[in-house]
Amino acid sequence: MNTPTNIQIINGADGRPAFVVLPYADYIASHPEHDLVPNEVVGYMVKEGMTAVAAWRRHLDLTQAEVAQRLGISQSAYAQQEAAERPRKSTRLKIAAALGISASLLDL
């Protein structure tokens, strides 16, 4: 059985489960139809001039090396992809999967 270990269950006053807390990336991955972009991601793009890929990576508190490892490429190769204003669709799909988000969230 595959029981998630990265969630937290909060019980109500009656002792029964009332809330579930899970990592944001997991929520987005399980609800791609919402296509929610956190204010923090937009802020990185507007205030710091980051690409959507870079902003999402920073929001998810990942290093370039961590994402590169997930993609099976070097950190420098990933840095080039992250700097591209609009990576190819196939690249965006791979990066989105590595970040655990919907690919449409990188189409900003």
| Beta pairing, strands 17-21 & 8-11 | antiparallel
Evaluate the CA torsion angle 12, 15, 16, 17 in order and state its sign.
Answer: positive
Q: List the CATH code of the domain at 33-106.
A: 1.10.260.40
| pLDDT over threshold 80, residue 23 | yes
Entry pTM: 0.69
Domain boundaries, the chain: 33-106
Query: In the block, which residue shows the tokens 């959507």?
Result: 52
Q: Which residue has the higher pLDDT, 32 or 95?
A: 95
Q: Which residue has the higher pLDDT, 26 or 80?
A: 80
Model confidence over 38-89: pLDDT tens digits? Answer: 899 999 999 999 999 999 999 999 999 999 999 999 999 999 999 998 899 9
Q: How confident is the model at residue 97 (pLDDT cuts 50, 70, 90)?
A: very high
Q: Which residue has the higher pLDDT, 47 or 4?
A: 47
